[in-house]
Structure 1
């Protein structure tokens, strides 16, 4: 099928894009990588009056170190998160999780901002944003505002973006790792490589000098209408030894957060089981990396 007719706009600045969004409002959509939007246009799931292409906006294609973290422009291609040493050094969880997004061809077109704005609850980048307490930066007619990732995702394919706003960047804080040694882990399960995950988990841990958990951050994807921050799991581990028994016990705290129903790919019952498995594996991988870092291996 062919997409419905629309007005094509190709602004050269973020301010120009905001002006266009203000003009067309809910009758407009932003085109970045097009990995999700173009298929939806083709089968006419969406019928925008205007399509605003942000690919010419160079300011949205930067990755920069900021005072307290790493700022990634909305137009940055996903593969850059895998390839750029700065990302691997400062936010290694993000670099690892990106490798699970679709196939390499998708990552060379797909953008960071596009994935966040699309808000698929089974997507990797929204999960890492929630797990790492990232901040989503949006710009509208009234200026720029920052939204905590946990507040940005409000439902399946639904965000806190206002109709006249454009997502311009995401800021990831850099974990300090001051309590001893830190590590990260990312695990997901899909029927085939490149498929949407049935469930997945991102974890960052910091260990005290005596080996106990100093801090734990866990995000889970594919189990609800939004990426889930596993606060109950985190609370169950703080101050505990990172034993297999303790991690397995704590991982079960994610089960009440599984609200996804049965679908063609999995039953709710299976996802409830899978959620605790991926959480346990992600934390275990993070602990292993933290120990390697502490031992200098």
Structure 2
């Protein structure tokens, strides 16, 4: 069933949008761990999707998007900040973020792929890097897109999925956009500053600070005893940039706990 595959916070929002549904007594196909339920409830409260256990107007809009709650919040924020196109692309591309760059083959072939990736890497981190990749791909003529992807070690299928997701999201939020809405993919420094701030607002509970030593990694701001590392595939690692402050989307546990989809946080944004 679909409910087994979606983010728990997304499932909560869907259920809460049916005002007759009581989360406390809802019979899940497979009951999630108690801690996971509490964390999902806490996240929705932080994002403003719920208040006192009830769904808010913002939460109802987020539920319509069928996105992970943080990404849904980002869409609503960027619409309010008059950057709907960029926000929708950020959300759409983040849904396939782990498969944008293609890296396979022999050791030599992987090195070639890594060198190609470096050209796209942004010091603002992985999400903004993916935004730039999508914008560049979108500007390529349709008949040349596959060739461009091969030449740049980009996963063509993932890009098409991201475009489909973007179109679906655009259709969903059409009623919240101005009547004279025109797609604008401008990525000026000012626009990127606003988007970086929006990313912080949506992933702020996953804020980390650098220990000062690459081997030690980063400490979670809300729990400094928790140590995490930037994944080697991150755009930040590819260009050798270890910012003082970062936020991340998820954790991959192997021999270490690695942050995935990491974004740089400016100190000015923290002060705000």
| TM score, norm. by length of structure 2 | 0.24
Q: Indicate the structure with greater helix content.
A: 2
Q: Indicate the structure with greater strand content.
A: 1
| TM score, norm. by length of structure 1 | 0.22
